[in-house]
A and B are shown apart, each in its own frame.
Chain A
């Protein structure tokens, strides 16, 4: 394996490991707390639920993308 490729794979593996730990914490903290509230919202206030569902998924997308970009920069910075 070329040196550059090996480095990329190593960086990615570290990023994946860190990301997994953070996401597991996220599962327990956020999803567990939101579950019951979203369930009741879905039953009683469908339109509000629909709007919040979109905001949640877009918010999570931006948050997690920023997190992966930050992790990538941090790890690459240490390797360079």
Chain B
């Protein structure tokens, strides 16, 4: 099928399947899935600037579906999501401007490829270390009889001491997040986490849930299930802004996004239902291979220069 806006020939079945897979991942992990979608679009022949912008548009639609499902399950902290949206928008604009600079310099594909590989691999390594350590700690607690029956509904993290230290930073104004079980946390910490997420969103595409979801759990101390739902809610706002910004700069093929999204609708529903059957650390451990797959696709496109 020919997509006139980007001038690309891509199979709509390929796009729908990519959307379906990303939908499942998004519903389950609360991420936009750009670490798969960006490289998958690049592999199909789109330039990085189009892959980034189009992926953002597709993520808006996918997040609307998944966030509505999570809201029904009580997994969305609206106050946290609204605050984070402000920080994310600022970061996304800085990231989009950086893409424009690289586009003008003519090396957008190489630079974004290298940065994405470094980011994806780093996230995977960190989450593998943390989730395995947490599961080992939980097992130890169960063996010592601290957790009845060896299972706990509380979302433990091996990164807990660092999270508590961050929560103790008292930079005014402090905000309470009762839905997430946080009595007081500095507004600036939330905005900083959101800004960094937005920066990655604008630069590498997608909602940057691959960095924001772990940041919400490890830095802000949000329970994993709530981090998943709130991240999706926040992504609707920030990805809409990102889509607008990229569309104005000529980086969005909305027809490709619409086709991808048809697959994502079904996938997102499966993913959301699946979260009910897994504990937080196991969700985080299952997340580990995903950024690595994204990195592998990018490495493949750099080495071989092949496109589907």
Contacts and interface: CB of A to CB of B under 8 A. Distances in A.
A and B associate: yes
Interface of A: 15-16, 19, 23, 26-27, 31, 34-36, 38-39, 42, 46-47, 49-54, 56-58, 60-62, 64-65, 68
Task: Name the interface size band of chain B.
Answer: 20 to 34
Contacts of A15: 266
A50 B258 contact: no
B244 A38 contact: no
A46 B60 contact: no
Contacts of B3: 35
Contacts of B62: 61
B269 interface: yes
Interface residue SS majority, chain A: helix
Closest 7 CB pairs of A and B: A50-B247, A61-B61, A61-B64, A53-B254, A57-B61, A39-B4, A64-B265
A16 B12 CA distance: 17
A51 B266 contact: no
Nearest to A46: B248
A14 B250 CA distance: 40
B285 interface: no
A49 B262 CA distance: 21
A51 B3 CA distance: 19
B65 A38 contact: no
B255 A38 contact: yes
A23 B262 contact: yes
B5 interface: yes
Contact of A60 (B5, B61, B240): B61
A62 B252 CA distance: 21
Given A39-B4, A46-B248, A61-B61, A68 B254 contact: no
Contacts of A31: 255, 258-259
Given A31-B255, A61-B64, A54 B57 contact: yes
23 contacts: A31-B255, A36-B4, A38-B5, A38-B254, A38-B255, A39-B4, A42-B247, A47-B248, A49-B254, A50-B247, A50-B252, A53-B247, A53-B257, A56-B258, A57-B57, A58-B61, A58-B64, A58-B240, A60-B61, A61-B65, A64-B65, A65-B265, A68-B269
B61 A50 contact: no
B224 interface: no
Contact of A57 (B12, B254, B266, B269): B254
B243 interface: yes
